[in-house]
A and B are shown apart, each in its own frame.
Chain A
Amino acid sequence: MLSIDDDGFDEDAIKARVERQIEALGAPMYEIFMETGASLSIDLERGSLKNAEIGKDSGIGLRVANKLGQTAFSYTSQTDAQSIEKMVKNAISIMQMATPDPDFKSFANKAAIINLPGRVVFDPAIERITIDDAVQLVNGALESARSNPDPRVYSVNVSFKASCTRISLFNSNGIDAREKQSDAILTCDVTVKDGGEMSSDYDFTSGRDLQRISVDVGAKATGLALKTLGKVKIKTGFYPVVLGTRAVGTVLAGAIASGINAELVQQGMSFLGEKVGKAIAPDHFSLVDDPRLENGSRVLSCSFDGEGFPTRRKAIVDAGMLETLLHNSYTANKAGVENTGNAVRSGYTSPPRISHFNLVVQPRRDHVVHDLYNGIKRGIYFDQTYDSPNMATGDFSGMISSGFLIEDGTITSPINQATFGVNLLDLFNSIEAYGDKVDDRAGIISPAIRLKGMHVSGNL
């Protein structure tokens, strides 16, 4: 159903067509990104199938540049000669209006790409998936969620999405990179009610192969949602905090990875701009950006980046020291350093930006403990927030969307409503210990982490 091998999207023919136009119209440097893909999604609302969707999309994103460093981007979803001509014309005419940029040297240099084994990024089972398979998965998750007879479970909503894409990149430096990728995600949202109290939680499984997708996500979501009932109010104060893996993604690993985006740093917009080569966390904390991950969900694994440059595993934080920024070809050339291969695309309709891949938190063993809560008299288990920090200052305030009280070394009640405020550098430095169970959630691989604490406002 999601087969993309015979979809008539012929990269070599399209490339030749685009290059002919570029030659005719004149742009000394170019980069052609192509993507063709198919996706299937299905939604189950309160046990009833609601809709099924099939989408096919393909297109070309073109960047052009000249010796003055003027660059521009255009795209088209049509592959006929006329549309391609229009795209190339658009790109070149707008390029001539761009500001000359002496920091632009060239698109990514050609470097040897070692392709990840095909099975790491692509699963033929996803390509063969049928609507009935998808129905079975969502119904399975529903059954799993409903296997808990607790009458407080009020509504269960399940969705599944699978997609296959073939991406390719060519540029005027001779890059020719191609890869087939697949993705699947099964999500279960559970709402619970107890008297006048209403609450909810969700869980998902995702991965590049179908085998990672487990219908047990239903029971897990129900378990999580039920735990959020019986909320208590807390007092405003400074509390010891344990960050769950969901929160690690937002307030720790993800925040560091966003802060070292070289574009942000070069524009003077990051609180981590001046910190490379300096300690930003205790020496027992390390963080790795790993696009070459071959195990686990590996949702962000890929052989080359959004400019066709080889990806590589790298330490971002090594024993507390900030090791590197994340670069694409432009920021690396501007800074005169090696390209880290962190250009990332979100489709053919926009130019690449800089981002991280799978993030792996690596604690030093002597700080891994079996019981993270031991010794916490009154603290907070910070499970989740949807807020984002002020990247310029590192100040981070927001709402604890899901959190629990820790009393005498044990998680007790969910928290009614609480907000937090912390500077990220203080937060990084306050890491004390790590749990011994590692979680793999959508490219964030980490145990729970104990912090000295942070300011939390409550309404008691």
Chain B
Amino acid sequence: MTLEGMEAAVNNAMELGAEFCDIRVDSWQNLSMDIMGSRTRNIVSSLGSGAGIRALIGGAWGFATTIDTSKGSLLHCSKKAVRLAKACTRFVKKEQQFTISEGIKFASGRNEITRDDEMDSVASEEKIKFCLDLDKLARARSPLVKNVILRFSESFGKAAIVNSRGSCIEKSIGTVYTIANVMVKENDVLQSGSEIFSHIGCWNTADPVAVERAVITAADQGLRLLKAKACPPGAFTIIADNKLGGVFVHEAMGHACEADSILSGQSILEGKAGEHIGNEAVTIIDDGSRRDLYGYMPSDSEGIPSRKTTLVKDGILVGYLHDLETASRMACPPTGNGRAESFDCMPQVRMTNTYLEPRDWTLDEIIGDTKHGIYCKNWQYGYVEPDKGNFMFKCKEATMIENGKQTTLLRDVALSGQILQVLHDIDAIGNDFGSSGGMCGKGGQHVRVSDASPHFRIKNVLVGGMEG
């Protein structure tokens, strides 16, 4: 990697008048494929690279990107970034001017989570064969399995970050992400089950048995859903499992804690720091340094080391997630949450591994204590509107709970709640803990995250059902 060219580009930007400058050069290798109808489709094997340079002047960023990472191109790009920043500076309001705070500690040095040769240490052929066998595995669960749609994606990325504060980082990390979608049909009823497997590291370090387990889980879920009933509409007490609970924490609280939305006046949590926003049993954390979770990274896209940040402590809002800009503007330390999807995107404030801390209920106790409710498992997707205070997510399957017992199986349960109310409505938190990895989208950029939680119970959640 052209560290020398990167340093030259940063120096050039500073000489041209930048107050702060950083440059990221990414290079990557990926292998992805779809399995559909027991055949490979869309097999992709590729390499790529590119660079993005950011210059800050008077509170405005200029950002220029290129796919040519030669020194000459980087120098040209740094000039462009400075020119853009200068063009914007005069339109920055006085109260919104800022510089990157002095005294911020950047990471430096090499961080090799995955070695250069790991991705190629297992032949692509072997990976393809493994995926085709997963198709057979799912079909073997039942003759009702009609199709298996599997997406497999493995990538190895190297990133170098150099900035005008003397930080120079090189890191390399591999990831594996698979989604299995199993279609089942009985008489005229079509259903599907799905499950994700995510892993930090290349395929050589992944656990194939866990992938097989995910595929079986997807198939069995689809088969169960054939018998599921549509959900009744209305407000219900719900119990969230680990995976759905994690997404709940991510959507209901995580996004609204991102400081960029606070500064842009688009979060309902603005000005609420120090206030009771939930039951005192609720503690919510974001921690990018957890190596065991899919949102792990040694440092963020701005060179800030990952760390644990408490967002809600015993029901009180105590912190926001920051990147360099929001931390500087709000005069607090950055939290290592400035993340960019790739070289051609500006970093944004993003979550990493977000979770609700466990308490003392067992799952049996929570269910036994619930007179009338819905036990909701796993997630399809979720989203939030931090400026309206609404969030919504969909679970994969659910069961009705009547008098402390699980009864009818339900499908397509959509849940919606309000940020400022829902944490108050959590009234039982379990003693277990589980996570799921996924991709989170914001402002057109997707980054890997994981969400985790114990089982917990929430009162008065609005459910979008289909039966009258």
Contact = CB atoms under 8 A, between A and B. Distances in A.
A94 B149 contact: no
A91 B39 CA distance: 17
A132 B87 contact: yes
B438 to A, nearest CB: 16
How would you classify the secondary structure of chain B's contact residues: helix, strand, loop or mixed? strand
A200 interface: yes
Contact of A76 (B46, B190, B387, B467): B46
Nearest first, the 9 A-B pairs at minimum CB distance are A155-B265, A419-B464, A421-B466, A51-B61, A457-B233, A49-B91, A48-B93, A399-B392, A200-B387
Q: With a 10 A CB-CB cut-off, give which of A267, A420, A456 has the most chain B CB atoms.
A: A267
A397 B66 CA distance: 42
B63 A198 contact: no
A374 interface: no
A401 interface: yes
A387 interface: yes
A410 B235 CA distance: 27
A378 interface: no
A50 interface: yes
A456 B96 contact: no
Nearest to B97: A48
B80 A54 contact: yes
Interface string A233-251: 0001010000000000000
B383 A419 contact: no
Given A45-B96, A57-B344, A267-B147, 4 more contacts: A386-B392, A397-B413, A420-B464, A455-B467
Contacts of A131: 84, 87-88
Interface string A419-460: 111110000000000000000000000000000000111110
Interface residues of A, number: 84
B47 A349 contact: no
Interface in B83-105: 84-85, 87-89, 91-93, 95-96
Contact of A457 (B50, B68, B390, B462): B462
B140 interface: no
Interface of A: 42, 44-59, 71-78, 83, 86-87, 90-91, 93-95, 97-99, 101, 131-132, 135, 139, 154-155, 157, 189, 191, 198-200, 228, 236, 238, 263, 266-269, 271, 349-351, 386-388, 390, 392-393, 395, 397-399, 401, 417-423, 455-459
A387 B394 contact: yes
B460 interface: yes
Contacts of B85: 52
A442 B460 CA distance: 37
Contacts of A47: 93
Nearest to A390: B412
B235 A457 contact: yes
Contact of B387 (A53, A191, A390): A191
Given A200-B388, A421-B412, A52 B50 contact: no
B316 interface: no
